[in-house]
């Protein structure tokens, strides 16, 4: 008995689907309602394609941001939970030595200092790194002038951002004037002579880096020995930066290090180090998604009018179908299917169109940014399967909400009035 009912249900669903399809793809002379249905489908296609493109651009921007920060931030970073620095003792060294999958550990001392060059001065972020820093970061490819050197025959040098060079008018050919760093002494009482409240150290710049605006106008990279002397950190470090043999194992190694080091330390991935920047991108992406979903809903509202008018036009057909034995819920199904055909025809066309445009942009860079010194020549694009799924779900929800009222009205048609 249940099997017979199931077969009947399937048969009825097929019948209602066939009728809905017949209404939409009718080969008879097109009237205004049919034209309105095609306009609705076109609006849905354009809105869907726009949503795919916008989300893909935001995905590309997020990936580009991570790619930029990966040039001067580590895959994993160990930093203190509280305070600016910690003792880099034998316990931590042994933990790192015993942890499998680590390729390199770079010691870091970083803090803000005042940089003076001739008569000019600027507050900068000084980043002291150990000798293996070139294994950790991909900064050599960002060198735009000079040499990529921090230490040569026990003489320290600095790598500066191009923005710092421009602001302070620093010349790499100047052998007379060094970069002079001023760093405040800790627990120093106020004195009549303010110069006594600072540690000072000087060196020459060796190269200029062009990475991105935040780095270029703020960062100076120096040997860790120079940073120790300037900031008097001794055996303390502000962070340890880790490069892995296989980035796929990052979560496992992160958990292992966090467990071994304890709650006094933070072990963070690149995404967690730049959580604020990425969070801003994701929030903006969410609001854009919501905004475009509303636009898509408005574009889909034509479906409501086309269905409402079709219900009026097909009143006699509906009465005949009811007299032949179709129930009210089956009548509703016909017009819900009708709305679904319009919406999903538009959605499929829109998804394909969005995919095609993003594919061309991704591989051929059709739309350029138009800025000569930009980090990328064309707008970055990255398509994600999850976005296509989310857009399809939104279209399903919009269709059901829009089609319910006209379908309900169709089911209330009285047979006697139209036969």
**DSSP conformation letters of 45-110:** HHHHHHHHHHHHHHHHHHHHHHHHHTTTS-SEEEEESSSS-EE--HHHHHHHHHSTTEEEEEEEEE
Whether residues 282 and 398 fall in one domain: yes
Q: What share of the chain is helix, strand, coil (3-state, %, to 5)?
A: 55, 20, 25
Domain range for 26 is 11-68+277-417
The DSSP element (H or E) to which 151 belongs, if any, is strand 151-152
Q: Is residue 5 part of a domain?
A: no
Q: Is 193 exposed, middle or buried (0-12, 13-18, 19+ CB in 10 A)?
A: exposed
> Is residue 132 located within the same domain as residue 161?
yes
| Residue 6 resides in a domain | no
Query: Are both 297 and 196 inside the same structural domain?
Result: no
pLDDT at 21: 57
Highest mean pLDDT among 81-95, 191-205, 295-309: 81-95
Residues 102 and 202 in one domain: yes
pTM, 2 dp: 0.70
> 247 and 384, same structural domain?
no
The verdict on residue 169 lying in a domain is yes
**Do 299 and 259 have their domain in common?**
no
* Statement to judge: residues 82 and 177 lie in one domain: yes
Confidence bin at 29 (pLDDT 50/70/90): very low
Q: Is residue 330 part of a domain?
A: yes
Distance CA 40, CA 343 (A): 8
The model's confidence at residue 31, banded by pLDDT at 50, 70 and 90, is: low
DSSP 368: B
Select from 209, 244, 269 the last residue of a domain.
269
Structure tokens at 193: 């002579």
| Distance separating alpha carbons of residues 63 and 232, to the nearest angstrom | 38
> E-assigned strands of 168-224?
179-184, 198-209, 219-223
> What Cα–Cα distance (Å) separates residue 108 from each residue in 138, 250, 262?
16, 20, 20
Indicate whether 187 and 121 sit together in one domain.
Answer: yes
Residue 3 in domain: no
Domain termination residue (choose one: 219, 235, 269): 269
Output phi, psi for 256, to 5 deg: -65, -45
* 1: in domain: no
Let me know if residue 390 belongs to a domain: yes
Residue 363 located in a structural domain: yes
Check whether 412 has a pLDDT greater than 70: no
pLDDT of residue 87: 93
Same domain, 105 and 223: yes
Per residue in 68-109, pLDDT tens? 777 788 889 999 999 899 999 999 999 999 999 999 999 999
Tens of pLDDT, residue by residue over 114-162, are 999 998 999 999 999 998 888 888 888 889 999 999 998 889 999 999 9
Distances (CA, A) of 38 to 34, 239, 245, 317: 6, 61, 55, 22
Mean pLDDT of 8-14: 53
Nearest one of 235, 269, 268 to 91, comparing CA atoms: 235
Same domain, 282 and 406: yes
The verdict on 99 and 248 lying in the same domain is yes
Boundary of a domain, candidates 211, 241, 269: 269
Domain count, the chain: 2
> pLDDT for 362-406, tens place per residue?
888 888 776 655 567 778 889 999 999 988 888 878 777 777 766
Find the mean pLDDT for residues 228-253. Answer: 91
* DSSP symbol at 30: P
Q: Are residues 246 and 356 in the same domain?
A: no
Across the chain, mean pLDDT equals 81
């Amino acid at each position: 008995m249940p099997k017979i009912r199931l077969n009947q249900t399937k048969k009825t669903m097929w019948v209602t689907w066939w009728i809905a399809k017949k209404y939409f793809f009718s080969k008879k002379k097109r009237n205004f309602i049919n034209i309105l249905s095609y306009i609705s489908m076109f609006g849905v296609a354009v809105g869907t394609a726009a949503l795919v493109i916008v989300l893909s651009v935001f995905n590309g921007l997020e990936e580009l941001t991570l790619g930029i920060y990966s040039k001067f931030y580590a895959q994993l970073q160990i930093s203190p939970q509280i305070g600016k620095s910690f003792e880099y003792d034998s316990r931590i060294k042994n933990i790192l030595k015993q942890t499998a999958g680590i390729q390199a550990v770079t010691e870091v001392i970083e803090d803000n200092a005042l940089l003076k060059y001739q008569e000019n001065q600027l507050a900068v972020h000084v980043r002291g790194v150990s000798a293996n820093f070139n294994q950790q970061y991909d900064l050599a490819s960002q060198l735009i002038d000079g040499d990529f050197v921090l230490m040569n025959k026990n003489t320290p040098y600095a790598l500066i951002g191009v923005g710092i060079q421009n602001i302070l008018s620093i010349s790499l050919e100047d052998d007379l004037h060094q970069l002079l760093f001023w760093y405040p002494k800790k627990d120093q009482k106020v004195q009549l002579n303010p110069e006594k409240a600072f540690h000072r150290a000087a060196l020459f710049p060796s190269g200029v880096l062009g990475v991105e605006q935040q780095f270029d106008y703020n960062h100076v990279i120096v040997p860790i020995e120079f940073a120790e002397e300037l900031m008097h950190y001794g055996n303390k470090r502000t962070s340890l930066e880790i490069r892995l043999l296989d980035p796929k194992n990052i979560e496992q190694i992160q958990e292992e290090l966090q467990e071994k080091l304890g709650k006094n330390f933070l072990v963070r991935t690149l995404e967690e180090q730049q959580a604020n920047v990425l969070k801003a991108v994701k929030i903006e992406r969410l609001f854009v998604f919501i905004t475009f979903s509303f636009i898509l809903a408005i574009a889909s509202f034509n479906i409501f009018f086309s269905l409402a008018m079709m219900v009026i036009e097909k009143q006699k057909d509906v009465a005949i179908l009811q007299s032949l034995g179709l129930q009210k819920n089956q009548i509703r199904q016909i017009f819900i299917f009708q709305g679904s055909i319009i919406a999903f025809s538009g959605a499929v066309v829109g998804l394909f169109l969005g995919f095609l445009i993003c594919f061309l942009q991704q591989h051929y860079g059709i739309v350029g940014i138009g800025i000569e010194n930009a980090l990328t020549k064309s707008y970055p694009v990255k398509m994600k399967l999850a976005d296509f799924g989310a857009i399809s779900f939104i279209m399903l929800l919009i269709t059901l909400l829009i089609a319910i009222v006209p379908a309900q009205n169709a089911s209330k048609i009285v047979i006697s009035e139209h036969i």
